[in-house]
Amino acid sequence: MTMSEQISKVTELATSLSGVAKCRQDFPCLAQTISDHPLVYLDSAASSQQPLAVIEKVVDYHSHDHANVHRGVHTLSHRATEAYEGARDLVQTFINAGSRSEVVYTSGTTESINLVAQSFCRPKLAPGDKILITHLEHHSNIVPWQLVCEQTGAELLVAPINEAGEVDIDNLFRQLESGVKMLAIAHVSNALGTIMPLREIIEKAHSLEVPVLVDGAQAVPHISVDVQELDCDFYAFSGHKMFGPTGIGILFGRETLLDAMPPYQGGGDMILEVRFDGTTYNDLPYKFEAGTPNISGAIGLGAAVSYLQTVGMHAISAHEHELLQYMTGQLDQVDGLRLIGTAADKASVQSFLLDDIHPHDLGTILDHQGVAIRTGHHCAMPVMDFYGVPGTARASLALYNNQDDVDRLVAALTTAKEIFR
């Protein structure tokens, strides 16, 4: 790269960074005070705020276009169907799925994972078969597998993590080699922020013919996801963590696999023909979408995808990466603060403990200064057990956060130390 190329690259990055920083004003919920302090929202990993573009899209749909989808000949039903299916196309492009049949609407990550456990795995599992997960999974990528193990007599294996919060890849590979029927793994850990080296892991799994489900709930809002490049078999995520509404999510599934799977639930929309002597199921993806769906949620999710594409996933990642480094650095300088989750490759999240202050007390003290963080076990109790703590405080970043937010967090922690001195 020549000097001038380098300079233009740097300026490009700088402009895109300031572009991301400006996004904050798109989020009405952030413009308020809590206990008379301007809100600092550092809990996007639990649920992110919605930009006006999403809120307005949903209001507009409810105000002008609402009807049931796929059912009416009338104009409103047509409009609703167009908007609902249009959002599916947006999601398909966003994650680069090979076809729109591979994009199934669900109520969220949790339902997506349960669908795969019940419809893809359960019919194949026999007593003694093994399913592999990792130690840092969210409860929703643990319990659905425990259920299917109980139902079939299969066994759940767990790949361990190290002190930094990284999965022990050698161990994971050894367990894969020992013969497992399924690997289910997070893309990004919600409690620790660890980014998993998925390309390498999926390649290994596939060389052993092990199908892979990726829990992408914490990845999609932060890093660019290309399901074809990852070559995963299933990819699950939630609308409400990527600036869309609650109650809507996606299951991406490889078409050949989805095709061979029995339906997950029965009802309207998932059938072509119903007779008492037998029913013909609908084509993909509708086979997995029984009943009237969350139409406005899907439309809102589509708007969130458009928003993310306009800002640009690469610009978002760069902004957040820099901010996470700043935050971790600042937190590390707070006397008595212990960082939990120090993997080399991380996104968006930093868990920590301060002195012997219980995380719940910390959460209250910060909230009273307008700083919203999550405290507790983050639906990852095995991770808490690993570190021998009842819970942690967790600050999580999104595209709308900036250095001021981090400074306010650190100042609020100083107050907590004074109160507990």
Partner 1 sequence: MIAQSQSQEELRDLYRELILDHARSPRHFGKLDGATHSAEGINPLCGDKLKIYFSIDADGRISDAKFEGSGCAISVASASLLTDTVIGLKTEAALDFFSAVVSRLSGRMEDGERPLSKVDLGKLIALEGVKEFPSRVKCATLAWHALNSAIRNESETVSTE
Ligand X SMILES: Cc1ncc(COP(=O)(O)O)c(C=O)c1O
CB 374 within 8 A of CB 340: no
Catalytic status, residue 379: yes
Site for ligand X, residues 374 to 413, rule: CB under 6 A: 379
400 with 24: CB under 8 angstroms? yes
The span from the CA of 40 to the CA of 19, in Å, is 20
CB of residue 35 to partner 1, shortest distance in Å: 5
CB-based contact 53:307 (threshold 8 Å): yes
Residue of 110, 375, 396, 401 interacting with partner 1 (CB under 8 A):
375
User: Any contact of residue 217 with ligand X (CB under 6 A)?
Assistant: yes
Q: Which of the ranges 30-38, 63-71, 147-155, 286-294 carries the binding residues for partner 1, by CB under 8 A?
A: 30-38
Of the candidates 361, 372, 379, 402, which one interacts with partner 1 according to CB under 8 A? 361
Choose which of 253, 359, 383, 408 interacts with partner 1 (CB under 8 A). 359
Which of ligand X, partner 1, none sits in contact with 108, Cβ below 5 to 8 A by type?
ligand X
Asked whether 92 and 274 are in contact (CB, 8 A), the reply is no
35 binds partner 1 (CB under 8 A): yes
CB atoms within 10 A of CB 160: 13
Task: Please identify, using beta-carbon distances, which residue of 211 and 376 lies nearer to partner 1.
Answer: 376
Spatial CB neighbours of 414, under 8 Å, sequence gap ≥ 6 = 334
Query: Rule CB under 6 A: which of 228-257 touch ligand X?
Result: 238, 240
- Closest distance between ligand X and the C-beta of residue 188, in Å? 7
Decide: is 417 part of the binding site for partner 1 (CB under 8 A). Answer: no
Place of tokens 């299969």: 154
Q: Which two tokens stand for residue 177?
A: 């080699």
Q: How far from chain centre, in Å, is Cα 397?
A: 13
Q: What is the DSSP string of 205-269?
A: HHHTT--EEEE-TTTTTTS---HHHHT-SEEEEEGGGTTS-SS-EEEEE-HHHHHHSPPSS-SSS
Q: Which of 65, 102, 166, 215 binds ligand X (CB under 6 A)?
A: 215
The nearest distance, CB 110 to ligand X, in angstroms, is: 3
- Residues in the site for partner 1, rule: CB under 8 A? 35-37, 357-361, 363-365, 368-369, 375-377, 390-391, 415, 419-420
- Residues in the site for ligand X, rule: CB under 6 A? 108-110, 138, 140-141, 186, 190, 215, 217-218, 238, 240, 379
